[in-house]
Every structure is written in structure tokens, then in C-alpha cells.
């Protein structure tokens, strides 16, 4: 590959700037939410969270309307699993998997982008920033802080429900890091689908996109339990 990104100071500056801004935004929004959304600051004690997976310091609260019209509410949840609640109480596994996913993102940057692929560098920076934000929570807090609930109080038609008997249209609660991860992966897939496939395999689009999709397991989205 001519002019690989890892040799370009400009590419590194873009990558690191986006990553640091995303990482900082994720931690700042989580911190704000856990201070204000429940009506009182929520104190997170790491040792208690790790020793008792069923304990939560979050008080019962109604949450806050972020976007009117039942589009987005803020509601606090501590997540010890992955998307759809799969892998609950598998903290060490998800820490290791996150390191692997971040390594894949770095590999894509160094081996499959050039110094002029700015969109790809921004996308990878978003993935790294979101992944590092959730990794920080797992390591230093014990669980991932989630607080965004999209389409609250809207339910599936025909009495349908998700596994776990939750009938909400979108029962998962997520955070800024998840938004960064999904946005970054979406931009990466668009970028590689629009690149010409070279005969020497420099841009093996489908394999790169498959690797990018695999990083989706770092996304933290917590199912909202049914409240009868």
C-alpha cells in the first residue's frame, strides 16, 4: 500500500483527536447522568458492584425526558453484560474481548487505510473512543453506566414481546460510547464498500467489514426490565 496511514502524522492526529474527544464525551455524559438523572447523585462503589452482581445503588426513578414525543428519555442502568443482556456477569471475558476489538480497529487503521482516508480515520477514532469509554467502566467501576432509553413507552404490536417478556419497542438502554461505536462501524462499512477492490488484496472489502462487524460485541445496550 502506498502512503499507509500509520506513517502519516496527519492521520495519527485525526485518529487520536477523535478518539480522545469521543472518550472524554462518553465519560462526561455518563458522569452527568449519574449525578442528575435520578434526582440525586448515584455513588458507585466498585467493590460492592463486583462482589454482588444483583446489588444496585440506583434508586427508583422516573427518569428525564431528553427529546419529547417519546423519542428519548434518560434512565439509569448498570450493565454487566452485552447487547440483549447476553453474557451477564462475564466481566473478564468482555474486558478481554474489548481489547481484541480495539486491536482489530488499530489493525484496520494501519493495514487498510492510507493517509488520505480521513473518513476512515474518523470512523476508527469513534470506535476506539467508544470502546475505551466502556472499557474504562468495566475496569474501574465494575459495570457499564447506561442512561439513554430510545422510544420509551412504545410497545410492539399484536402483543408481541422480546425474549424476557419485554414488550417495549426498543427495550435497551445505552450510552454515548455505544453511539460512537455504532456510528464509527457504520462509517467504516460505508467507506470500505465504496473502495475499489484491488487485485493484490489491498482492500479486501468483505473481510474487513466482517471484522468490523465483530467489534459490535463491545456495544453495551441494556434491556429495560418490564415494570408491571
Chain segment 165-199, per-residue pLDDT in tens: 889 999 889 999 999 999 999 999 999 999 877 65
Q: What is the DSSP letter of 4?
A: B
Domain boundaries, position 96: 5-43+54-223
Rounded Cα distance, 88 and 77, in Å: 14
Task: Give the model's pLDDT for residue 208.
Answer: 58
**Residue 48 falls within a domain, yes or no?**
no
**Residue 228 falls within a domain, yes or no?**
no
Write down the catalytic residue from 80, 146, 153, 228: 146
**Residue 87 falls within a domain, yes or no?**
yes
Task: Give the model's pLDDT for residue 224.
Answer: 64
Dihedral sign for Cα atoms in the order 183, 150, 27, 141: negative
| Number of domains forming the structure of the chain | 1
Write down the catalytic residue from 26, 80, 178, 228: 178
**Residue 180 falls within a domain, yes or no?**
yes
Contacts of 32 (CB under 8 A, 6+ apart): none
**Residue 49 falls within a domain, yes or no?**
no
**Residue 205 falls within a domain, yes or no?**
yes
Give the residue ranges of the chain where pLDDT is below 70.
82-89, 198-228
**Residue 143 falls within a domain, yes or no?**
yes
Task: Give the model's pLDDT for residue 84.
Answer: 46
Task: Give the model's pLDDT for residue 163.
Answer: 81
**Residue 149 falls within a domain, yes or no?**
yes
Query: Is 153 tagged catalytic?
Result: no
Query: Is 178 tagged catalytic?
Result: yes
Contacts of 66 (CB under 8 A, 6+ apart): 72, 73, 74, 148
Task: Give the model's pLDDT for residue 202.
Answer: 47
Looking at the chain, which runs of residues are DSSP E strands? 64-67, 72-79, 144-150, 172-174, 222-223
Task: Give the model's pLDDT for residue 64.
Answer: 94
Task: Give the model's pLDDT for residue 3.
Answer: 87
Residue length of the chain: 228
Amino acid at each position: 500500500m502506498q502512503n499507509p496511514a500509520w506513517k502519516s502524522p496527519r492521520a495519527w492526529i485525526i485518529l487520536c483527536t477523535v478518539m480522545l474527544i469521543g472518550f472524554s464525551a462518553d465519560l462526561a455524559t455518563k458522569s452527568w447522568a449519574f449525578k442528575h438523572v435520578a434526582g440525586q447523585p448515584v455513588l458507585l462503589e466498585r467493590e460492592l458492584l463486583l462482589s454482588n452482581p444483583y446489588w444496585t445503588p440506583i434508586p427508583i426513578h422516573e427518569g428525564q425526558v431528553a427529546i419529547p414525543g417519546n423519542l428519548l428519555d434518560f434512565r439509569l442502568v448498570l450493565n454487566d453484560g452485552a447487547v440483549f443482556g447476553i453474557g451477564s456477569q462475564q466481566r473478564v471475558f468482555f474486558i478481554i474481548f474489548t481489547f481484541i476489538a480495539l486491536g482489530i480497529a488499530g489493525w484496520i487503521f494501519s493495514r487498510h487505510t492510507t493517509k488520505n482516508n480521513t473518513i476512515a480515520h474518523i470512523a476508527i477514532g469513534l470506535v476506539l473512543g467508544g470502546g475505551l469509554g466502556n472499557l474504562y467502566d468495566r475496569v474501574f467501576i465494575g459495570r457499564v453506566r447506561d442512561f439513554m432509553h430510545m422510544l420509551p413507552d412504545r410497545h410492539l404490536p399484536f402483543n408481541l414481546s422480546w425474549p424476557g417478556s419485554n414488550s417495549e419497542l426498543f427495550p435497551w438502554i445505552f450510552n454515548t460510547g455505544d453511539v460512537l461505536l455504532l456510528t464509527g462501524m457504520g462509517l467504516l462499512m460505508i467507506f470500505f464498500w465504496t473502495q475499489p477492490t484491488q487485485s493484490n488484496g489491498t482492500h479486501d472489502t468483505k473481510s474487513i467489514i466482517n471484522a468490523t462487524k465483530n467489534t459490535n460485541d463491545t456495544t453495551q445496550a441494556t434491556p429495560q426490565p418490564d415494570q408491571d
